[in-house]
């Protein structure tokens, strides 16, 4: 009786935890073994990668089509695909949903009623609320007449991309996917953007967009290193020669570049 009384009983919950811990250790050990075998197979020098002939033909055909388009635009321009005049369009914006809505007959009547006499007729609270939330916004649908554009690389430069397109993207400083740059919009830059138009997306940025981009994702090269523009000391040290000492000055210059000084301002900033 005394020997049985000296034995300590282990709770069942503690036994379950120990069992689960042992099972977890065993599963992790098995995963490590699998990962080790996979790493050895990947780093094997004798491994041969097989590419289908159909894939090679498809890539060659796409590369040839891209080169034909590049040569045509380089020789003849965009022709009728790009207008030389500034095109102004309108869109209907819903403030209550904070999104763009399609312009139907109802939204067209509401927007026209807002442009008429505002207090002439009040059909009800709901109608008044809808008239207040919907309004038309005019915007330029192309970049003709602007001084600065923001371009983003939206397609990867893979095996189907011709060397001439890669060279043009490098001259525009677009080397990685989702990388964006501010560019002066002159005749030379416009032609280069037309040459690589299937690979980039560009347009006129607003002042708020420029400020948001500079503060969040703005970088510059300082002694060969990529440095963020979050610190005003960096801007003053690198761009103090042209009169820029803070982020607000840089945003103001990027939004108004070329409006007063022509191409001289563009050469100093870009």
Reduced to 3 states (helix: H, G, I; strand: E, B; else coil), residue 180 is: strand
Per residue of the chain (270 residues), give pLDDT as tens: 455 555 566 677 777 777 788 888 888 888 887 776 555 555 556 677 788 888 889 989 999 999 999 999 888 887 666 767 777 777 777 777 667 777 665 555 555 555 554 444 444 444 444 556 777 777 676 777 778 889 999 988 888 889 999 999 999 989 888 888 888 888 898 899 999 999 999 888 888 888 888 888 888 777 778 888 777 888 888 777 777 788 888 888 887 765 554 454 555 555
Among candidate residues 267, 22, 67, 20, the one with its CA nearest the CA of residue 167: 67
Q: What is the pLDDT of residue 29?
A: 83
CA distances 159 to 66, 175, 176, Å, are 12, 15, 15
Q: What whole-number distance in Å separates Cα of residue 166 and Cα of residue 169?
A: 5
Give every strand in the sheet of 148-153, ordered side by side: 180-184, 148-153, 200-203
Helix, strand and coil content of the chain, in percent to the nearest 5, comes to 55, 15, 30
What global pTM score does this model have?
0.62
Residues whose CB is less than 8 angstroms from the CB of residue 166 and which lie 6 or more positions away in sequence, other chains included: 157
Residues whose CB is less than 8 angstroms from the CB of residue 224 and which lie 6 or more positions away in sequence, other chains included: none
Among candidate residues 89, 90, 96, the one with its CA nearest the CA of residue 136: 90
Among candidate residues 193, 199, 198, the one with its CA nearest the CA of residue 175: 199
Angle at 249 between CA 244 and CA 252, to 5 degrees: 130
What does residue 173 show for φ and ψ, rounded to 5 degrees?
A: 65, 30
Q: b/e for 113-124, b at 16 or more Cβ within 10 A?
A: beeeeeeeeeee
The DSSP secondary-structure symbol of 79 reads G
Question: Are β-strands 219-222 and 200-203 bridged in parallel, bridged antiparallel, or unpaired?
Answer: unpaired
- H-type helices in 116-173, by residue range? 125-133, 163-171
Neighbours of 253 (CB within 10 A): 19
């Amino acid at each position: 009786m005394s020997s049985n009384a000296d034995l300590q009983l282990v709770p069942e919950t503690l036994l379950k935890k120990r069992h689960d811990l042992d099972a977890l250790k065993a599963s992790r050990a098995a995963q490590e073994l699998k990962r080790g075998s996979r790493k050895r197979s990947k780093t094997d020098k004798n491994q041969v990668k097989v590419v289908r002939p159909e894939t090679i033909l498809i890539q060659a055909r796409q590369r040839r089509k891209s080169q034909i388009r590049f040569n045509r635009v380089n020789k003849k321009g965009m022709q009728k695909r790009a207008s030389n005049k500034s095109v102004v369009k309108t869109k209907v914006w819903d403030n209550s949903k904070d999104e763009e809505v399609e312009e139907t007959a109802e939204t067209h009547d509401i927007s026209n009623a807002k442009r008429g006499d505002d207090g002439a007729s009040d059909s009800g609270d709901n109608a008044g609320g809808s008239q207040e939330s919907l309004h038309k916004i005019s915007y330029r649908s192309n970049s003709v007449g602007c001084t600065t554009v923001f371009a983003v690389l939206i397609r990867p430069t893979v095996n189907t991309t011709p060397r001439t397109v890669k060279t043009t993207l490098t001259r525009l400083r677009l080397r990685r996917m989702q990388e964006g740059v501010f560019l002066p919009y002159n005749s030379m830059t416009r032609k280069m953007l037309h040459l690589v138009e299937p690979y980039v997306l560009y347009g006129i940025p607003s002042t708020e967009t420029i400020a948001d981009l500079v503060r969040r994702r703005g970088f510059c090269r300082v002694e060969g290193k990529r440095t963020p523009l979050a610190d005003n000391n960096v801007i003053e040290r690198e761009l103090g020669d042209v009169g820029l000492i803070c982020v607000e000055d840089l945003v103001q210059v990027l939004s108004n570049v070329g409006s007063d000084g022509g191409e001289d301002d563009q050469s100093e900033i870009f």
